[in-house]
Amino acid sequence: MSASGVRGASAGFTLMETLVMLVLVSMAATMMFQMLNSYRIAQQRVAAQAGQMDRSSLFEAWLVDGVRGLRAEPAKPFIGSRSGFEGVTLNPLYGSGGAPSVIKWQLRAKADGGQITYAEDGKDRWSMPLRDFEEARFVYFDREGKQHDQWPPAQGLQESLPAGVGFVRGTGAGERVRLGSVLGPLIPRDDPFELEPE
């Protein structure tokens, strides 16, 4: 056999070598697509969880802002229970800042768990599902820091507003409280320029 014949036989792939190479390439491509799919699923889960955390943080910030702006109004007294509260605030979410608006935060049971809703001037504006709905509740603190499950308390304090409103999630050691303090006077004033007594 001549040297040119040997060179021609070894220059190309045999059918078996070609099949083995195609199997290896297809296995590598399959593994790559599985990794990309796993990455896509993980990215979607992280994005969904981050979105839920952002939404939860945002709702808690809105709650605290609304509580800070609460105002004692004889015509529309503040009423609070474990499932929600309603009152007049100067920090509405949708209305003009500084303009008194009636706000209502409410825990509502649904077939798939529950949600927290926000209403302003009688219109439902926003809602968010709560995973730990059964353990969520509102609490109210008087000027001395005593906690109450409703407002006005059963013993009837003279303040029209609580000193603070807390949103509690969880129970026992896992309990988390987001507290908003009322910045204005706790009783209605005839003169808006009158200073609060010490």
| Whole-angstrom distance, CA of residue 69 vs CA of residue 21 | 71
* Count of CA atoms in the C-beta half-sphere (13 A) of 44: 6
Q: Residue 156: which pLDDT band, with cuts at 50, 70 and 90? A: low
**pLDDT surpasses 70 at 22:** yes
pTM of the model: 0.66
| Whole-angstrom distance, CA of residue 73 vs CA of residue 28 | 71
Structure tokens given for 81: 């229970």
| Average pLDDT of the chain to the nearest whole number | 82
| pLDDT one-digit tens code per residue, 43-85 | 777 666 655 556 777 888 888 999 999 998 888 899 999 999 9
**pLDDT surpasses 90 at 135:** no
pLDDT at 162: 92
pLDDT at 185: 79
**pLDDT surpasses 60 at 5:** no
Q: Residue 155: which pLDDT band, with cuts at 50, 70 and 90? A: low
pLDDT at 107: 93
* Count of CA atoms in the C-beta half-sphere (13 A) of 94: 12
